Amino acid sequence: MRRMWPEEFNSLLDGAEEVTVEIPYALREEGNTHAPIHRKALRVRLPEDACARLWPLAEARYRLGGARTGQAITLVANNPHYHAIHPADGGTEEGISGSGKHYTTRHLVVHFLLDDVRDHAEVG
């Protein structure tokens, strides 16, 4: 099943930084050699309320459209293999609303695993 990333969340990926994350000590098929795996990912700093809206989409793979057509993302939430890139504290931002009230916005840093899912057609 090919799930598409919901369009209402596209703006949350606008400030995404493409990074390579290291997943430590993976067991390889060819033996017991323990070597880290490197995966492409998108790192995004989001307001806590945006993360709460995204949470139901965690751990599922979604294809992207637009400039990232041919790629898919998976929000890392609590998979033990990816412990190092689980959502982390992204700090706070202080501000004053239009009515003059002070407010604080908490942020989280989240990672989306990034995969290439282009369909290759054979030319015959």
Kindly report, residue by residue over 23-62, the tens digit of the pLDDT. Answer: 876 555 565 566 778 899 999 999 999 999 999 999 999 9
Say if residues 94 and 38 touch (Cβ distance below 8 Å). Answer: no
29 or 79, higher pLDDT? 79
pTM: predicted TM-score of the whole model, two decimal places: 0.82
Kindly report, residue by residue over 53-71, the tens digit of the pLDDT. Answer: 999 999 999 999 888 889 9
| Phi and psi torsions of 77, nearest 5° | -115, -60
Mean pLDDT, range 11-18, rounded to an integer: 92
